[in-house]
Copies of this chain bind each other. A is one copy, B any other.
């Protein structure tokens, strides 16, 4: 494992003056995190082994489908911000990608997904049974990997997040086809389902750095707000995104019976006629493209997209504010830039 990532990161100029252009933001961040991403990829390849070939095959499929490696990256950067200079960060970081991959595999079974990131979903290739069981393996393996660090506090944070995540997944299922869900209930679901693991990745980075409780909680908060913003932008992209860029059809959430914040807002704020039409469309068995475009128009006109983006922006501001107690170094700058990029990303 090389440690050059640290030097390169700190030697790069900060990017305060960058215009909020999605592609240039991304390239700017990528230039600084490339060494870390390479270490993460190397560790994924090293650790994704099993004496059972099918596990490696399905594991590599889900791992190589263009994931952003957001969680391991946040853990590594958080550890660095907290002064960690050892060489165990990448292997511990991979735990978060394995756990995330396990939930993606089970999600695809739950949602009967056909595609993920421009590739056939694993369940369409190997069937539900294999995908459920390989997901179980990735859960178990990632926790076994963490046990190797003999740090009970890290295990506690990880398992609390994993347990809440499982509850969030069940909650989301319970709310399937439910148009009565309100904003607070919805935010609770995405807090458990998405923000929890991202928050845990940042907190574990802090624990690896061995900082005081205040810094640990600050990074936990950073991850929480970043995670909420990340999911809210995901929700808007399901309406406004580009099919090719997303690697899956837009309107996926409504097709799967998931009422996300843009739609919840439209149902709360549209006219009576608009609400009625939104409910009609949402409740229909299969939504043709043209009808989805009508729904998108209704949701947009209600202000649902704008509201969701504004809420996401507020969470990004809170995330950045949580970092204020850290010295303004390269690691902090990248974390802030990643938080900012979450709002401007198109994928």
Contact = CB atoms under 8 A, between A and B. Distances in A.
Interface string A55-75: 100000000000000000000
Contact of A106 (B51, B136, B156): B136
A265 B156 CA distance: 47
Interface string A127-152: 01110111011011101100110101
B109 A129 contact: yes
Contacts of A167: 50-52, 55, 137
A106 B128 contact: no
Interface stretch (A158-166, A232-240, A279-287): A158-166
Nearest to A161: B140
A140 B162 contact: yes
A254 to B, nearest CB: 17
A173 B130 contact: yes
Interface in A159-180: 159-160, 162-163, 165-167, 169-171, 173-174
Interface string A99-114: 0000000100111000
A321 interface: no
Contact of A136 (B141, B143, B150, B169): B169
B139 A136 contact: yes
A54 interface: yes
A174 B144 contact: no
Interface in A12-26: none
A311 interface: no
Integer count of this chain's copies in the complex: 2
Contacts of A47: none
A155 interface: yes
Contacts of A156: 144, 147-148
A278 B140 CA distance: 37
B137 A147 contact: no
A111 B130 CA distance: 11
B166 A137 contact: yes
Contacts of A55: 167, 170
A147 B155 contact: yes
Nearest to A171: B52
A197 to B, nearest CB: 11
A153 to B, nearest CB: 9
B52 A130 contact: no
Contacts of A165: 140
Nearest to A172: B133
A221 B169 CA distance: 38
25 contacts: A50-B167, A52-B167, A52-B170, A106-B136, A109-B128, A109-B132, A110-B128, A110-B129, A110-B132, A132-B132, A133-B173, A134-B170, A136-B166, A139-B140, A140-B159, A140-B163, A140-B165, A140-B166, A141-B163, A141-B166, A143-B159, A144-B159, A147-B156, A148-B156, A155-B155
Interface of A: 50-52, 54-55, 106, 109-111, 128-130, 132-134, 136-137, 139-141, 143-144, 147-148, 150, 152, 155-156, 159-160, 162-163, 165-167, 169-171, 173-174
Given A54-B170, A147-B159, 5 more contacts: A109-B128, A109-B129, A137-B163, A139-B140, A155-B155
The 4 closest A-B pairs by CB, nearest first: A137-B166, A144-B159, A110-B129, A140-B163
